[in-house]
Amino acid sequence: MRTRHTRGKVLGMLSHGLFDFAGETRHAARGATLLDRGAEVTHVLHVEQGRVLLGWLDNGRMTHHLGTVEGPFWLNAGCAALGQRPVADAVADSPVQLRCIPLAAFEASLRALPAPALEMLRDVARAHRLHAEMGLSRTAKDAEARCAEWLLRHAQPAADASGTLAVLLQERKRMIAAQLGIAPETLSRVLRHLRERSLISGSGRVLNLLDPGGLRTLAGL
């Protein structure tokens, strides 16, 4: 991202004369990663212009989508207020202009707020974080449910006549993932989770359904 040093008030919910920072104005191209959910917060980002996609990145691709926001918008102020890492990754969905504020400066301004106002701000941040966590959790579970249903729909008696069911993968995983409306990386991760939970076995072209009942429960059938 290109940067330049500026000074000025940040627009948005918390801009009523309280925040006047010597920060950086950054410009990010479409596709640039703005937030990494695994990284500590070192700067607070305010999207001044542009559109940002929120969700979970997997190998550089957004596999679980939380939603899209447009500037002006505080991107991770809630994380900074709570002292926690981001819930989601953030990727520029258009050219984006950001104000980048050092965490120490942001925290100092928070400490200057009246105690009731600061507590209300943190309560709002907690509620927003919980909403985001629930949204991402539902998205991830939906992927597992769709995969479980697909496996049950394509199951046939196992070739070894053991009384179990199996699925022969006759298409490439990317084609199966497209049918399910998920990324290939998400499909691979879901199948790994199903193996870890002893619902399926096998890693080649044949997947054995070890627990069809558990898969039906997961699929909501």
pTM, rounded to two decimals: 0.61
pLDDT at residue 214, rounded to an integer: 92
If we measure between CA atoms, which residue out of 126, 148, 123 comes closest to residue 218? 148
Instruction: Tell me what the mean pLDDT of segment 189-202 comes to.
Output: 91
Query: Which residue's entry shows tokens 């703005």?
Result: 34
pLDDT over 70 percentage in the chain: 89
18-27, 121-130, 181-190, 191-200: which has the minimum mean pLDDT? 18-27
Note whether 29 and 90 are within 8 A (CB): no
Model pLDDT for residues 129-141, shown as the tens digit of each residue: 988 888 877 777 7
The two beta strands, 96-102 and 61-70, are: unpaired
The mean pLDDT value of the chain amounts to 84
52-66, 102-116, 195-209: which has the minimum mean pLDDT? 52-66
pLDDT at residue 14, rounded to an integer: 52
| Domains in the chain: ranges and CATH | 2-112 (2.60.120.10), 136-219 (1.10.10.10)
Q: Which helix (DSSP H) or strand (DSSP E) does residue 62 occupy?
A: strand 61-70
- 76 vs 2, more confident: 76
Model pLDDT for residues 147-185, shown as the tens digit of each residue: 999 999 899 887 775 678 999 888 888 888 877 877 788
3-state secondary structure of 39: coil
If we measure between CA atoms, which residue out of 178, 201, 15, 4 comes closest to residue 97? 4
CA 37 to chain centre: 8
Model confidence at 42: pLDDT above 70: yes
Model confidence at 202, pLDDT cuts 50, 70, 90, reads: confident
Note whether 27 and 1 are within 8 A (CB): yes
CA pair distance 199, 195, nearest whole angstrom: 6
Model confidence at 19, pLDDT cuts 50, 70, 90, reads: low
